[in-house]
Amino acid sequence: MKFGKRTAAFALSAALALSLAACGSGTEKSTGDIATALEKINAVKSLEATMVMEMDMSLMGQSMETETAMNMVCFNDPMKLKADMTMDMGELGSFTMNMYAAMDGDNYTVYMNDGSAWSSETVDMSYLQQYDAQESMNLYLESGDDYTLEGTEEINGSTANKFTGVIRGDALEEVLAASGATSSLESSVGNLDLSELYSDLGDMPITVWVDQESGYPVRYAMDMTELMQGIMEKSMAAAGGEEDISGMITMDKMSLVMDCFNFDNATDFEIPAEALGA
């Protein structure tokens, strides 16, 4: 059995919904660099970010390796976003998407190009948050627990303190439910028992780097392999359909690294005229 595009598309949709999650809340955190970093990121008016996600899967002896790269520019006042994403799916080909979003009165308008044409739609803020690097960084700083200083590393030319921690099962369930992962999975597989899907998730490790000089959180990294394996098994079983792959899919690797930079100094941009005319 070979991977079909339906299987690949579902897996990638679920993975992106989880990796780009950007709303939700956690518990109060310890004082120190993490608390300072949380305050700093919440006060930012603009920033830029790059995200790289690697996902390797296998199904009935067939493997698929994917790499997704995204460049983001985020402004808060007024709100506007830009995101350029490239997804390399190996033999299944590649996919490129360009997205812009901006406030339009009391609404938010999103403009997307899938490589062939521009389209636009009006959305609420919860949809846009999954593309907001500031909110993503805020989410994981706020939801993490038991941070431990592991030393220092050079990140993009500056010295940063490296902290390891976990997002615990109870907080993780709340994060996933609020992240947009729920709606993405529902659209892919239909009706789901979400309480069953997110039960017994366990803890997910997280690593955060905080710049020593500025106090800004400049990188986070997550190993989501075990988490995604559990969710994929449950969601694929719920999907049903002609191609029953329950218990036959393996998530060999799922990792994500996101770097944030140019705090309060992001490169400004204009929405292209062809996008505005869509």
Q: How many helices (H) and strands (E) in the chain?
A: 9, 11
In this prediction, residue 29 carries a pLDDT of: 38
Domain ranges of the chain: 5-276
In this prediction, residue 6 carries a pLDDT of: 44
In this prediction, residue 174 carries a pLDDT of: 62
In this prediction, residue 23 carries a pLDDT of: 26
pTM here is: 0.77
In this prediction, residue 17 carries a pLDDT of: 46
* Cβ-based neighbours of 163, under 8 Å, separated by 6 or more: 33, 34, 147, 148, 149, 150, 207, 208, 209, 210
pLDDT digits (tens, 9 = 90+) for 40-97: 888 889 999 998 988 888 877 788 888 989 898 989 888 888 989 998 988 778 888 8
Residues of the chain with pLDDT under 70: 1-31, 124-140, 170, 173-201, 235-248
Measured CA to CA in angstroms, residue 29 lies from 25, 44, 117, 165, 252 at distances of: 11, 20, 45, 11, 32
Fold category of 5-276 in CATH: outer membrane lipoprotein receptor (LolB), chain A (2.50.20)
